[in-house]
Structure 1
Amino acid sequence: MQIRFGMIVDAEYTARKNNRLKRLIRNADFEQPEASVAAIDYGHNRKINRTLVERLASCEYITEYRNIFITGATGCGKTYLACAFGMEACKRYYTVRYVRVPDLLLDLQAARTGGRFREALKKYINPTLLILDEWLLMKVTEQDSQSLLELIHKRRKHASTIFCSQYRESEWYAKLGGKDNPLTDAIMDRISFDFYKIPIESLDPDKDLSMREVYGLDPSKAQ
């Protein structure tokens, strides 16, 4: 009887954990929910630091409140890698949220106009891990820079953020308004405080193969 009762308790505990994981993954709203660290392709003419990727898959950067910068050309697999890290975080029951920066800024702009800015901002402040895809794909306005600064300031030393960008970190200054802009300095100071950098580089541009093809993804869903 005791053994049977113990089995029932174990089954209930496992079911609750599985349901919690499913809920975390659903709420994260991943662009690529099928992404997996185990399935990352380190070949196909790409240079990527496998040792660092496998180390970060342990999610130690989250406990340290450190950020990750993933940079590389369109189609190199930035989104897949970021979502794979996000999945690992969910498996450890961290709250995660994925968002494209253009969508984030539109959301915050509308919220500011409607007097709901603080409420909307909390959606992005609260997750333990925030994935910002298409980071600085386009030059931002001063108001957008103010919104980004508010978000990044609130998360600094309290949570981790993954930034996915086509541009190298040195090019972010121009996208944010230039080095002479106080907002630019404030944003870069906060996100560059403590971070890991994962550049995804092409070994031979003439032999490039999009990771959309490699992973068999919808062309609109791989960056």
Structure 2
Amino acid sequence: MMLSLSALASERVRRREARIRQLERERDEREAAIFARIPRLAEIKELQSEIGLDVARLYLHRPTRFGKSFEELKEWSLQLSREREELLRRHGIDPYELEVHWDCPRCQNTGWVREPADGDTAAPPRKCACLVQEEIDDLYRAAGLTGPLREQTFEHFDITVYPPECRKHMEGVRDYCRRFADAVASGDARSSLLLQGAVGLGKTFLACAIGNRVIAAGKTVGYFTLPEFVELVRAEKLDEEFRSSTMQQLLDADLIILDDLGAEKVTEFVAQELFNLINLRLNRQLPMVASTNLRPSELEDVYGERIASRLLFGFEALTLQGEDVRKVLRLRSSEA
């Protein structure tokens, strides 16, 4: 089921904040254990904190606690730092144990990197690589392309599982799907794609490969098998708020994939919702990918003329050829 991107973004922020608190707690626990062994380290930390406050008070021309000048405070702080280093060395303690052990030291788990100021101009913060990767992972979660589906990419598409006489045709199908995915990723796609063929020819693999390539470009994808779409529609029927927000996502996603059409009989209500989705996205020239084992005449029998007409004449159709790939792979495995 497609997850809300805004909900995922909020969850991502909460997850990072919770992780920061956890890491700081762990640091505090390590620090407390070390201070219990070496009380002088706690005194040094407190003194350096007060020195910092006195420096601020001097800048503000306010009374200070220690009555020392800037130079005297600086020298005292340096002496305390040297004493701290000596105490840690003498007791065999790595100074790193008194620091927060960030998962990403570059951004300290915030997800944002602040570059040093260039003169008087401070550069705006930019996303850390760890946040970019997390956002991509969330796009996969939102799309429903997780687990093995995420591994189904064009790079892993094995043309040798097809009979020799079918390989040139299947290479053309693969390359067309790749070009389609690139067009969606660049925002240039205005058409939709129908993958047809018998069971086990790689329709789901190619549909997922398209989705994975689009997500890698930072675009939004919704992936559904027909049973999952039916489940979504049934859930919406019971929850009007859920219905409106979820259907809006389906209308706004950069790509929608409807996999394995024909795998389940549909009610009139589900057929109407499926028609609405297909019709609205076609009218708005928002790309879709659909796959089916059904022949054209069977599509009309199962879904009715309106849906069949849009799938057959509103989508670019690719027909896959060959033998059941799963049987070929099982045979290879038994011979290995």
Normalised to the residue count of structure 2, the TM-score between the two structures is 0.52
> Is structure 2 residue 143 aligned with structure 1 residue 28?
yes
Residue 18 (str. 1) matches residue 143 (str. 2): no
Q: How does 1:116-155 map to 2 (within 5 A)?
A: 116=241, 117-155=243-281
TM-aligned CA deviation for residue 106 of structure 1: 2.4
Match of 2:300 among 173, 180, 184: 173
Q: What displacement does 1:135 show? A: 0.9
1:199 aligns with 2:324: no
Residue 194 of structure 2: which of 50, 69, 87 is its match? 69
1:70–1:197: 8 Å Cα contact kept in structure 2? yes
In 2, the alpha carbon distance for the partners of 1:40 and 1:135 equals: 22
Q: CA RMSD in A?
A: 3.1
Counterpart-to-counterpart distance in 2, 1:91 and 1:53: 15
Which amino acid counterpart does residue 104 of structure 1 have in structure 2?
F
Structure 2: distance between partners of 1:199 and 1:190: 17
Could you give the per-residue CA deviations for residues 82-124 of structure 1, whole angstroms, max 9, x where no partner exists? 1110011012211001111112112212322444543442342
Tell me the secondary structure at the aligned position of residue 197 of structure 1.
Answer: strand
Q: Could you list the runs of 5+ residues in structure 2 that have no partner in the other structure? A: 1-114, 118-122
What is the alpha-carbon distance in structure 2 between the residues aligned to residue 40 and residue 170 of structure 1?
A: 30
Structure 1: tracts of 5 or more residues without a match: 178-183, 217-223
In structure 2, give the amino acid aligned to 1:59.
A
* CA gap 1:139/1:26 in 2 versus in 1, 3 angstroms: closer
Greater helix content: 2
CA contact (8 A) 1:75 1:212 kept: no
Any idea what SS the aligned residue of 1:148 has? Answer: helix
Between 141-150 and 78-87, report the one with greater CA deviation.
Answer: 141-150
1:161 is the counterpart of 2:288: yes
Q: Which residue of 2 aligns with 1:110?
A: 235
Displacement of 1:73: 2.3
Check if 1:59 corresponds to 2:195: no
Structure 2 CA distance for aligned equivalents of residues 42 and 88 of structure 1? 18
Aligned residues: 200
The one-letter code sitting in structure 2 at the alignment partner of 1:197 is A
Distance of 1:190 and 1:128 partners within structure 2 = 19
The equivalent residue for 1:213 is 329
**Structure with the larger strand share:** 1
- In structure 1, the residue matched to 2:217 is 92
**Paired residue for 2:3?**
none
Structure 1 residues 124 and 5, CA gap change in structure 2 (3 angstroms): same
Could you say which structure has the larger radius of gyration? Answer: 2
TM-score by length of 1: 0.74
1:163-220 superposed Cα distances (whole Å, 9 cap, x missing partner): 111113443111113xxxxxx32x3444445433222211xx5xx4417937x9xxxx
